[in-house]
Amino acid sequence: MTHAAKPPTLADVARLAGVSVPAASRALNGGVRGKQSGSPELRSRVEEAARTLGYSVSPAAQAIKGGRARTVAFIVGDIDDFGSATMISGMMHAAEERGISVAVRTTRDDSTRELDILTQLRGERHLAVVMATSRTTDPAREASVKEQLMVLRDHGAKIVVIGDNDLGFPTVTVDNRHAARLLADGLADAGKRRFAIVSGPAGEVTALERVGGFVEGLADHGIRMAEEDIVHTEFSRDGGYRAVDLLHDRLGEVEVIAAMSDAMAVGVIARLRELGVAAPDGIEVTGFDHVPMLGDVLPAFSTVEVPLEEFGGAALALVLDEPAPARETVALTAIPILRGEPLVRA
Is position 1 within any domain? no
Say whether both 141 and 194 belong to one domain: no
Say whether both 181 and 287 belong to one domain: yes
Is position 75 within any domain? yes
In order of 4, 162, 292, the CA distances from 180 in angstroms are: 67, 18, 19
Provide the number of structural domains found in the chain. Answer: 3
Residue type, 68: R
Say whether both 166 and 315 belong to one domain: yes
Angle at the Cα of 162 from the Cα atoms of 137 and 227, rounded to 5 degrees? 40
CATH of the domain at 162: 3.40.50.2300
Is position 137 within any domain? yes
Is position 4 within any domain? no
The tens-digit pLDDT sequence of the chain (346 residues) is: 444 457 788 888 889 989 888 888 878 776 544 555 567 888 888 888 888 887 776 554 555 445 567 899 999 988 877 788 889 999 999 998 888 899 999 998 899 999 999 999 988 889 999 999 989 999 999 999 999 999 999 988 999 999 999 999 999 999 999 999 999 999 999 999 999 999 999 999 999 999 999 999 999 999 999 999 999 999 899 999 999 999 998 899 999 999 999 999 999 999 999 999 988 889 999 999 988 777 777 888 999 999 999 999 999 998 887 666 656 889 999 999 998 888 876 5
Question: 122: domain range?
Answer: 66-174+309-333
Strand ranges (E), 125-255? 128-132, 158-162, 171-174, 195-199, 230-232
Beta bridge partners of 324: none
Is position 301 within any domain? yes
What is the β-pairing status of strands 158-162 and 128-132?
parallel
CATH of the domain at 15: 1.10.260
Is position 186 within any domain? yes
Strand arrangement of the beta sheet that strand 128-132 belongs to: 101-106, 71-76, 128-132, 158-162, 171-174, 329-332
Supply φ then ψ for residue 6, to 5 degrees.
Answer: -70, 130
Distance CA 144, CA 130 (A): 16
Say whether both 163 and 183 belong to one domain: no
Using alpha carbons, select from 254, 285, 280 the residue that is nearest to residue 268: 285
182: left (phi over 0), alpha (psi -120 to 50) or beta: alpha
Say whether both 27 and 123 belong to one domain: no
Say whether both 116 and 14 belong to one domain: no
User: What's the pLDDT at 67?
Assistant: 59
